[in-house]
Amino acid sequence: MTEIELLNWARGPGLQIATIIFVAGVVIRIIEILMLGRKPNLAEAKGSEMSAGLKTMVSRTVPDRATFKRSSFTITAGYFFHLGLFITFFLFAPHILLIKDVIGFGWPALPTPVVDAFAVITIISLLAVLVNRLTNKVMRYLTNFGDLLTWFLTLAPLITGYIAFHRIGFTAPTLLAMHILSVELLLVVFPFTKLMHAFTLFLARWYNGAISGYRGVAS
Amino acid sequence: MMKDQSIQDGSPELVTPEARKPDKGTLGEALHRQGVSRRSFMKYFASTASMLALPPAMLPVIARALEQTRRPSVIWMSFQECTGCTESFTRAHTSTLEDLIFNAVSLDYHHTLQAAAGHAAEAAREAAMEENYGEYLLVVDGSIPAGNPGYSTIAGVSNLDMLKETAKGAAAIIAVGTCSTFGGIPQADPNPTGAVSVGDIIKDKPIVNVPGCPPIPVVMTGVLAHFLTFGTLPELDHLGRPKTFYGKSIHDRCYRRPFYDKGLFAETFDDEGAKKGWCLFKLGCKGPTTYNACATVKWNDGTSFPIEAGHPCIGCSEPDFWDGGGFYRALSMPTENIAKTAVYTAAGAAAAGVVLGAMNRAKKRASDKIHIKVTIDDLEK
Amino acid sequence: MSASLDKGINALKQQVDATVAAFFSSCVHCGICAEACLFYTETGDPERTPINKTEPLRRIWKSEYTLMGRLGKLFGLGKKVDDKLLADWETLVYDSCTMCGRCSMVCPVGNDITLMIRKTREGMAAAGHAPEGLIGASKRSVTIGSPMGVKLPALLAQVRHVEEDTGLKVPLDVVGAEYMLLLSSMEIMNFPEFIGAIAKIFDRANVSWTISTEAFEATNSGIQIGVSDIAAELVQRIVDAAEKLRVKTVISPECGHAYMAIRWDGPNLVGKKFGFKVRHVLEVLDDLRQQGRLKTSGMEKGKLTYHDPCQISRRGGVIDEPRRLIDMVSDNFVEMPDHGKMNWCCGAGGGVSANERADEIRLKVFQRKKDQFDAIRPDAIVSACSNCRIHLEDGLEEYNMDIPLLSLTEMIAEHLAGDDRAGAA
């Protein structure tokens, strides 16, 4: 297979396979969660579940001061790389073309040099995140193979994307194919790992807010 | 010249065996006959040398070599092709380099350019092959239908057989045009003829791939010039393409690159961005993954190239450019309908999820059923 | 003597629901929950990371309720729940957790880890891996009626003292009273002044109330050990008494878990909505204040602060009421750093104080509260949970800190306006 054929496979059948596994995995897991249901709460409510749940879905994004002080590196590095991932994926012109092709609409892009800079920041953040994970006592205790695997799968598209854009090391079709394949690998493994939090955290935060809100506490 | 007369004649009985022999004069003599002065000769070979990225000190060497070289026999086989490669090759401008090189070789067989036809043409080819066995250059354009060899035949002989036969006595093969180098447009899905490239069939001869749909004229002649000068083939990349011409991508030499780097793209063919000459990535430009000399050498004697004319590069010197999703689909876009896949998958997965969810609920119900009330006597083993 | 691993595993299976599944699916091992838990911050032991405490529940969720987990189980892969795991986890789930809820407030993906630890206890207890202290407390609660073994005569004796001190009647078993007051054994034995305070306040405010001699215990050991069946039995006694006396509202006293047990868990434990309301005593006092039926005079001298009992504030929803009440009698109130719903646990709730094995760590983690007090140097600490009170007093003594612990209800009672009329019948 020539490198162009590999690239076209990645852009075609490869992406189809990855999409199938990704979509199936995510949908099945979410339905698995929801269908377990909750027992109805028979106590007298002090607040509204729905509005509290919705609030927490957003408010939990902002840590309280004391917690931030105690976990400032974890939180800061975490935000840097999440923001960076968002910017490099959703606000880069070639990616928006891809998204537009799949969902039918797009949006304006950030200037490419800005995205390029954020890619570097994101890569550095992810490296910092790994160092933190391996040196922080608590994280080291909690860390398992899945954590390391997902870290690698998240970093790979960033690095392959960066070198594809800057055309470092291999010929262009190979670089681009590697980038697209790394994303497909991420998609395929996604539903089987903690990366599901990208979807389930909204459920979790809602439940948290709802449970507390029922009792009149904004969590 | 006797040779010319015999070919122009066309009728077999007027062509004597002697007349059919290729002219063995040198290139220098041929050019002299054309009325090319020594000064022009040197100029032309200087530009050849620079095209090949050879150092200026080599110029006298090249000149002497080319001057003295005996005109090698070239057999040009055309298979499933559109003749575009020949058209490109022969864009005749007055006294072009291509024209001269053309005359530097003894083009003993070429469907479009030869005067002979039918049996006379085939006879000329066979004679050239026999006469120069092991030394002639085989140039091929067009793909070979391997699916059913009957799809393309010449004089009743399939392309497949003819290629194999002609390749046997060739010193080297130059596959010209993307069809012969990589399969080309005939190979496009569903590839009804089973089109393959020269490299797919011939494994035991040196092959130079000169892809492009068509290739740039000077690229073709540059390869020939290299062979004439050094008797060897130029350095090739991993796809068998001469590095001199295919070593850099369009993207890396494109004059619109600063716009790509900044993120300024034309959205349609006639919007403000297009008028300002912005990058054509969004319109499907395959420049980033295409290796060719278009952005530097350009076409029509350096007039322009597709991107400069406002059309995205279609990647015509790369394999599979015909099934890469479409000329107007950007490189970052998928080549297939992902949305449809996602929707159907979600529907199927929802059904599967409901089944699994029901299993979960059943399990919970079962565990509730077998629950025995825990009393204070049940807190210790 | 019939606890078994199978029962424990079955209990865990029962405990998995959509919330548990969503939470476990979302955990990204960030470790931030550890920094919210005083049992980690004051010991530095990563095993005490809150989400780690839920490991037995997680394994059951994974292997029973996820596609990949189920497939793994088929092939003998995946981590199992066995007696060794539960034994190893006993000190994490019981000794090192008060179910204070702070971790649930900080988890970035929104996990209610406290809820999961509570659920994990169901499995631990049914498998015979609950601490001895809690098993004893539960036995006493069910057989005697109180985890501390307080019987009716002891209550009546305290009631007599209170009536003598205040000159007021403590109404017992009054049918049709509006409020039925519960009391924790801790209050009855250690802080009977609370009963007197209530008598005074209700008398002044003209509140119709009573105590049931058939169900006066507020503490629910079932909640602390984590066995819903036992908790339900204890709640049912209260429900029966409240229905018998046809009261409108049951009052939960100054005790943390009691409030959670009767107010929020109660109806769900017995499987029926209550025909009466449940309110914390602070909510009742705040209501009276709003209605103008609670009049105070004079201000406390000195700087006051308020320690939020976890089950009442963060987990219970009674956060502003105590502050409004304190404002009535203090103009020098200072909040601790991290106050209100983010206040730190005292370290003794959730069964920890009933667990002798946890004495050492309970005192160790008091350091967190000490740091809070040191930051503001109050003259007195007000709270509304007797368990917090006892433990904070222990801790302050351990560190030679001379700061009095006050009950909010008692403080209010001391400032009732027109105190000279207290003697009137």
Evaluate whether residue A138 is within a structural domain.
yes
Asked whether the ipTM of the predicted complex exceeds the cut of 0.85, the reply is yes
Best mutation target among C5, C9, C13, C122 (most B Cβ atoms within 10 Å) is C13
Evaluate whether residue A219 is within a structural domain.
no
For A28, nearest residue in chain C (alpha carbons): C67
Instruction: Kindly give, in sequence order, each residue whose CB lies less than 8 Å from that of residue A161, ignoring residues fewer than 6 positions away.
Output: A88, A119, A179
Strand partners, B26: B70
How many C-beta atoms lie closer than 10 Å to residue B233's C-beta?
A: 18
Structural element, H or E, at residue A87: helix A72-90
C213 three-class SS: coil
Across the interface, of B238, B262, B361, the residue whose CB is closest to A35 is B361
Per-residue pLDDT of chain C (425 residues; tens, 9 = 90+): 689 999 999 999 999 999 999 999 999 999 999 999 999 999 999 999 999 999 999 999 999 999 999 999 999 998 999 999 999 999 999 999 999 999 999 999 999 999 999 999 999 999 999 999 999 999 999 999 999 999 999 999 999 999 999 999 999 999 999 999 999 998 999 999 999 999 999 999 999 999 999 999 999 999 999 999 999 999 999 999 999 999 999 999 999 999 999 999 999 999 999 999 999 999 999 999 999 999 999 999 999 999 999 999 999 999 999 999 999 999 999 999 999 999 999 999 999 999 999 999 999 999 999 999 999 999 999 999 999 999 999 999 999 999 999 999 999 999 998 754 444 43
Q: Give me C185's structure tokens.
A: 């054994």
Best mutation target among C33, C64, C105 (most A Cβ atoms within 10 Å) is C105
Evaluate whether residue A72 is within a structural domain.
yes
- Residues in chain B with CB shorter than 8 Å from the CB of A101 are 329, 333-334, 338-339
Evaluate whether residue A24 is within a structural domain.
no
Across the interface, of B367, B372, B380, the residue whose CB is closest to C1 is B380
Evaluate whether residue A179 is within a structural domain.
yes
Q: Produce one character per residue of C264-300: b if its CB has 16 or more CB atoms within 10 Å, e if not.
A: bbbbbbbeeebebebbbbbbbbbbbbeeeebebeeeb
CA distance C103 to C83: 27
For C337, nearest residue in chain A (alpha carbons): A66
Best mutation target among C2, C63, C121 (most B Cβ atoms within 10 Å) is C2
- Residues in chain A with CB shorter than 8 Å from the CB of C315 are 215, 217
- State the nearest Cα–Cα gap between B214 and chain C, in angstroms: 53
Element counts in chain B: helices (H) and strands (E) = 17, 9
Cα-Cα-Cα-Cα dihedral of C225, C230, C234, C235, to 10°?
90
CA distance C6 to C10: 6
Q: Produce one character per residue of A157-195: b if its CB has 16 or more CB atoms within 10 Å, e if not.
A: bbebbbebbeeeeebbbbbbbbbbbbbbbbbbbbbbbbb
The mean-pLDDT minimum among A49-53, B6-10, C95-99 falls in: B6-10
Q: What is the pTM of this model?
A: 0.90
List all residues of chain A from 178 to 217 with a beta carbon under 8 Å from chain C: 192, 194, 196-197, 200-201, 203-209, 211-212, 214-217
Computed from CA positions of residues C151, C154, C160, C166, in that sequence, does the dihedral angle turn out positive or negative?
Answer: negative
- Single out the residue of B196, B125, B189 nearest to residue B160, CA to CA: B196
Quote the pLDDT of residue B348: 98
- State the nearest Cα–Cα gap between A106 and chain B, in angstroms: 12
Contact between chains at C109 and A201 (C-beta distance less than 8 A): yes
A136 three-class SS: coil
Average pLDDT, chain B: 85
List all residues of chain A from 96 to 125 with a beta carbon under 8 Å from chain C: none
Q: How many CB pairs under 8 A join A and C?
A: 179
Structural element, H or E, at residue C155: helix C152-166
For C338, nearest residue in chain A (alpha carbons): A66
Asked if residues B234 and B219 have their Cβ atoms less than 8 Å apart, the reply is no
Q: Produce one character per residue of C201-214: b if its CB has 16 or more CB atoms within 10 Å, e if not.
A: bbbbbebebbbbee
Quote the pLDDT of residue B24: 56
In total, how many domains does chain A have?
1
Instruction: Locate the domains of chain C by residue range.
Output: 5-130, 135-290, 304-414
- State the nearest Cα–Cα gap between B375 and chain C, in angstroms: 6
Quote the pLDDT of residue B1: 36
Q: Higher pLDDT residue, B250 or B3?
A: B250
- Single out the residue of B80, B88, B82 nearest to residue B145, CA to CA: B80
For A28, nearest residue in chain B (alpha carbons): B353
Asked if residues C5 and C126 have their Cβ atoms less than 8 Å apart, the reply is no
- Residues in chain B with CB shorter than 8 Å from the CB of C3 are 378-381
Any idea what DSSP says for residue B242? B
Quote the pLDDT of residue B39: 79
* pLDDT at residue B102 tops 80: no
Is C354 part of the contact surface with chain B (CB cutoff 8 Å)? no
Which regions of C38-112 does DSSP assign to beta strands (E)?
none
For C107, nearest residue in chain A (alpha carbons): A60
CA distance B125 to B155: 12
- CA B208 remoteness from chain centre: 10
CA distance C261 to B86: 91
Evaluate whether residue A60 is within a structural domain.
no
- Residues in chain C with CB shorter than 8 Å from the CB of B379 are 3, 125, 128, 130, 135, 138-139, 225, 227
CA distance A134 to A198: 23
Q: Indicate the pairing of strand B195-196 with strand C304-306.
A: unpaired
CA distance A110 to C369: 49
* pLDDT at residue B90 tops 50: yes
The mean-pLDDT minimum among A34-48, A134-148, B144-158 falls in: B144-158
Quote the pLDDT of residue C279: 97
Contact between chains at A57 and C110 (C-beta distance less than 8 A): yes
Is A166 part of the contact surface with chain B (CB cutoff 8 Å)? no
Residue range of the domain that includes A87:
3-19+65-199
Task: List phi, psi (to 5°) of B295.
Answer: -75, -20
Asked if residues C194 and C409 have their Cβ atoms less than 8 Å apart, the reply is yes
- CA B303 remoteness from chain centre: 21
Contact between chains at C108 and A47 (C-beta distance less than 8 A): no
Contact between chains at C14 and B356 (C-beta distance less than 8 A): no
Quote the pLDDT of residue B92: 44
pLDDT tier, B21 (very low <50, low <70, confident <90, very high otherwise)? very low
Is C158 part of the contact surface with chain B (CB cutoff 8 Å)? no
Amino acid code (one letter) for A69 = K
Is C34 part of the contact surface with chain A (CB cutoff 8 Å)? yes
Q: Indicate the pairing of strand B170-176 with strand C209-210.
A: unpaired
A96 by Cβ neighbours in 10 Å (0-12 / 13-18 / 19+) ranks as: buried
Evaluate whether residue A46 is within a structural domain.
no
Contact between chains at B367 and C229 (C-beta distance less than 8 A): no
Quote the pLDDT of residue B98: 52
> Where are the alpha helices (H) located in chain B, listed in sequence order?
2-9, 17-20, 27-34, 38-51, 59-68, 84-89, 97-104, 118-131, 159-168, 177-182, 198-201, 217-230, 243-246, 250-253, 257-262, 272-275, 338-369
Strand partners, A29: none
CA distance B362 to A36: 10
CA distance C102 to A105: 42
Is C248 part of the contact surface with chain A (CB cutoff 8 Å)? no
Evaluate whether residue A83 is within a structural domain.
yes
Relative orientation angle of helices A145-166 and A72-90, to the nearest 10 degrees? 40
Q: Indicate the pairing of strand C179-181 with strand C209-210.
A: parallel
List all residues of chain A from 119 to 178 with a beta carbon under 8 Å from chain C: 133, 136-144, 147
Instruction: Kindly give, in sequence order, each residue whose CB lies less than 8 Å from that of residue C363, ignoring residues fewer than 6 positions away.
Output: C394, C395, C398
Instruction: Kindly give, in sequence order, each residue whose CB lies less than 8 Å from that of residue B345, ignoring residues fewer than 6 positions away.
Output: A19, A20, A23, A24, A27
Q: Does the C135-290 domain belong in CATH 3.40.50?
A: yes
Q: What percent of chain B has pLDDT over 70?
A: 87
Q: Which CATH number fits domain C5-130: 3.40.50, 1.10.1060, 1.10.357, 3.30.420?
A: 1.10.1060
Task: List phi, psi (to 5°) of B60.
Answer: -60, -35
Contact between chains at A36 and B289 (C-beta distance less than 8 A): no
Any idea what DSSP says for residue C331? S
List all residues of chain C from 102 to 131 with a beta carbon under 8 Å from chain B: 125-126, 128, 130
B partners (3+ CB pairs within 8 A) are: A, C
CATH class of the domain at C304-414: alpha beta
Q: Do domains C5-130 and C304-414 have the same CATH topology?
A: no
